[in-house]
Amino acid sequence: MMLQERVQIWLENEGKAARPFLPPFSKLLIAVSGGPDSLALLHTLAAIFPPKSLVVVHLNHGWRAEAAEEAEFVQDTAVSLHIPCHIEKCDVISLARAEGLSLEEAGRKARYNFFAQMARQMGAKAIAVGHHADDQAETVLMHLLRGSGLAGLRGMLPVSRLPGAEDLWLVRPLLTTSRAEIEQYCREHNLDPVTDPTNEDTTYFRNRLRHELLPHLASYNPQIAQRLQYLATVTAADYALIEQLTQEKWVAISKESGPDWLTLDKTGWQALPLSLRRSSLRQAVRQLRSDLRDVGFESIEQARLVVERGATGQQATLPGGLLLTVGYDQLTIAAGLEAVPDYLPQVIGETAVSLPTPGQVQLADDWILMAQIVENPDWNQVMRNPDPWQAFVAAERPLFIRPRQPGEKMQPLGMNGQSNKLKEIMIDRKIPARLRANWPIVAVENHPVWLVGHLIDERVRVTAVSTPIIHLQCYKMVDA
């Protein structure tokens, strides 16, 4: 099958998702380096679409002496096909140093930024790139070696969003065409592509895969490249299904969100199958950190286990500087709790309020603090209470709810009567700074009883002879 015919079939099938962004509906940018893959891509698309619908773009990375000649070659080729060409030079070495990136990563970032700039300037919605089937095999193997999950094992997609520019598309018409077929096409059409010597440099990870590891694996299975391509195709379909199911469940478990935070229904999340519990945490990270490329298995798994095994108040770190906090009935994922409005309890005003026993007091933002007398205590529950939002105390009445007082100290349970300043305790317990002044404290007349959600005072410790025992509980009202 001729390459042009194959690309036309691709456009009608795998590329149909990008059809609204291709000619005649919009201009199409073609990224051309001058190598055989991009040259064949340009030649083929020029035979399918009218020249006025196409724009050639080329970024000179500026790190090789031959780069200027290659840019001139691309310019001349575009002119011969009557297609506009835009060339730009970027100091990728300086970019890599400034941002602490490898040359490969810096080059990739510079190219995508250039593509986005030119697409918007030319009124295009899609950029065609020359990635082919052998590139796909290398990509899947690279992701496998780096420990990727399904998202990486699906390799490159025929049509995908341009990284850093979600309104633009990358299309890969040659993704099922082998390097050998592309080189044969160039010979048949008298195309004389340039040769990039860095493609032979095995100090680059991808080149080592291409020239060393894949040939070695081929000695075990001569069809290894094709098998990796099949793996990508199958995995992409399976991943798409998981993504669809995740989005359907996301609607049910997602509660509230802001620029740097979101909350999930804890019970709804726990009811999901294992695969969707993991994928929903990934979805949360993607929603808050859309520019983050890699979300590793380890961080997602650690966060999942913290939710499933940990008590209320437990926390886990996620990529992108995000923090997951296990709440009483919800999970909060945020750039620190400082970013979350009205998430934690606060007293109303600075004056102490009597806490009836039994009875309850309304706190700010629909939080409730409740006190009950325990007549027949379950000693296992009392002595091994895992929930930081409830406490059992042996305190005299009356009880009060109030904020901390200047210089106030507390004797945390288990510290053998040692006193610490409440201000320092709050800092150690990572209570957000903006919430410390009005954090609720249950107290008797002379000292604190319970730093809500955190610590009980040693002086109200429950023993086998304690009477009465008071059960304190703090919770946020949930709309019916």
Percent of the chain with pLDDT over 90: 61
| Residue 430 scores a pLDDT above 80 | no
380 vs 116, higher pLDDT:
116
pLDDT of the residue at 101: 83
63 vs 284, higher pLDDT:
284
Measured distance between the N- and C-terminal CA atoms of the chain, rounded to whole angstroms: 62
| Residue 127 scores a pLDDT above 90 | yes
| Residue 259 scores a pLDDT above 60 | yes
121 vs 293, higher pLDDT:
121
How far apart, in Å, are the Cα atoms of 69 and each of 34, 77, 86, 92, 145? Answer: 10, 12, 15, 18, 36
349 vs 386, higher pLDDT:
349
pLDDT of the residue at 237: 94
CB atoms within 10 A of CB 75: 17
Options 3.30.465.60, 3.40.50.1820, 3.40.630.30, 1.10.10.10; which CATH number does 249-339 get? 3.30.465.60
The rounded distance, in Å, linking the Cα atoms of 50 and 27 is 10
Specify the fold of 3-220: Rossmann fold (3.40.50)
Lowest mean pLDDT among 130-144, 336-350, 351-365, 422-436: 336-350
Q: Work out the pLDDT band at 56, boundaries 50, 70, 90.
A: very high
Q: Provide CB contacts within 8 A for 395, sequence distance 6+.
A: 444, 449, 460, 470
Question: Using H for helix, E for strand and C for coil, what is the string for the chain?
Answer: CCHHHHHHHHHHCHHHHHHHHCCCCCEEEEECCCCHHHHHHHHHHHHHCCHHHEEEEEEECCCCCCHHHHHHHHHHHHHHCCCCEEEEECCHHHHHHHHCCCHHHHHHHHHHHHHHHHHHHHCEEEEECCCCHHHHHHHHHHHHHCCCCHHHHCCCCCEEEECCEEEEEEECCCCCCCHHHHHHHHHHCCCCCCCCHHHHCCCCHHHHHHHHHHHHHHCCCCCHHHHHHHHHHHHHHHHHHHHHHHHHHHHHHEEEEECCEEEEEHHHHHCCCHHHHHHHHHHHHHHHCCCCCCCCHHHHHHHHHHHHHCCCCCEEEEHHHEEEEECCCEEEEECCHHHCCCCCCCCCCCCCEEECCCEEEECHHHEEEEEEEECCCCHHHHHCCCCCCEEEECCCCCEEEECCCCCCEECECCCCCCCEEHHHHHHHCCCCHHHHCCCCEEECCCCEEEECCCEEEHHHCCCCCCCCEEEEEEEECCCC
pLDDT of the residue at 341: 62
Q: Work out the pLDDT band at 337, boundaries 50, 70, 90.
A: low
* Section 93-109 average pLDDT: 86
Lowest mean pLDDT among 221-235, 302-316, 435-449: 302-316
| Residue 296 scores a pLDDT above 90 | no
| Residue 342 scores a pLDDT above 70 | no
Q: Work out the pLDDT band at 203, boundaries 50, 70, 90.
A: confident
| Residue 431 scores a pLDDT above 90 | no
Asked if 61 and 104 count as a contact pair (C-beta separation under 8 A), the reply is: no
Q: How is the chain split into domains, by residue range?
A: 3-220, 249-339, 353-476
Asked if 389 and 474 count as a contact pair (C-beta separation under 8 A), the reply is: yes
Q: Residue 275 is encoded by which pair of tokens?
A: 């695969």
Q: What digits encode the pLDDT tens for the residues 72-96?
A: 999 999 999 999 999 999 888 888 8
| Residue 478 scores a pLDDT above 70 | no
pLDDT of the residue at 272: 97
The rounded distance, in Å, linking the Cα atoms of 114 and 103 is 16
| Residue 198 scores a pLDDT above 90 | no
Q: Work out the pLDDT band at 5, boundaries 50, 70, 90.
A: confident
pLDDT of the residue at 340: 66
Q: Work out the pLDDT band at 1, boundaries 50, 70, 90.
A: low
| Residue 479 scores a pLDDT above 60 | no
* Section 177-199 average pLDDT: 90
Which of 98-102, 286-290, 404-408 reaches the highest mean pLDDT? Answer: 404-408
Q: What digits encode the pLDDT tens for the residues 206-254?
A: 899 999 999 999 999 999 999 999 999 999 999 999 999 999 999 999 9
| Residue 480 scores a pLDDT above 60 | no
